[in-house]
Structure 1
Amino acid sequence: MHPSTVLLVAAKTVTLVCGAVLTTLTYRAYNRTRATAMRALWVGIGLVTAGALLAGSLHQILEFPVATSTAVESVFTAAGFAVLTYSLYTDQPSEE
């Protein structure tokens, strides 16, 4: 296996583990607070993490080309960062 492939797999593994932990923690915080901003934070981190998982799966399991799997990951990352940006501007408490 090429060293750059090992580095890529290691980096993606760290991204997935940290992303899963962050997603879980923000989901728990959202359940406690029911804050709209926390929900957006949870969804944004989840999208970035899901994009990394999906890209790796497409490339390693389904043998998609690197360019295609990277494009899919980029779409999820862009959507995740858009939601994360929204979470910073949302300060209204949820109505329940």
Structure 2
Amino acid sequence: MSVAVTTAIIAVKTIILLLGSGVTYIAYKAYRRTGARSLRVLAIGFGTITLGALLAGIANQLLGVTLEQGILINSLLVALGLAIIMYSLYLER
């Protein structure tokens, strides 16, 4: 893989980590303010998606996991995170 592609992946994963952490924090802060269980579950869902990006990046860059395996790790955690988010939208207050 070229240095430019590796650098771009690291940059995008860093942006995803920062934005995902921000959204997770805001959702958790809203949960703490309101006590709404759905907001807690929403924060967990966004946290799971963010964790997927982080773990896939670490696995690929530091642990020698192939790009395809990293994409699989990321995709599995994004799917799980979206399922959690969908569940949070159906919770009653």
TM-score normalised by length of structure 2: 0.90
> In structure 2, how many angstroms separate the alpha carbons of the residues matched to 1:22 and 1:49?
9
Gap regions ≥5 residues in structure 2:
none
Instruction: Give the % identical residues.
Output: 37
Map of 1:24 onto structure 2: 25
Map of 2:43 onto structure 1: 42
What is the alpha-carbon root mean square deviation over aligned residues?
1.2
Does residue 8 of structure 2 align to residue 7 of structure 1? Answer: yes
Amino acid at match of 1:76: L
Where in structure 2 are the equivalents of 1:15-94 lying within 5 Å? 15-90=16-91, 92-93=92-93
Amino acid at match of 1:65: T
TM-score normalised by length of structure 1: 0.88
Larger mean Cα displacement after TM superposition, 30-39 or 74-83 = 30-39
4+ aligned runs moved over 6 Å, structure 1: none
> In structure 2, how many angstroms separate the alpha carbons of the residues matched to 1:86 and 1:56?
27
> In structure 2, how many angstroms separate the alpha carbons of the residues matched to 1:59 and 1:67?
9
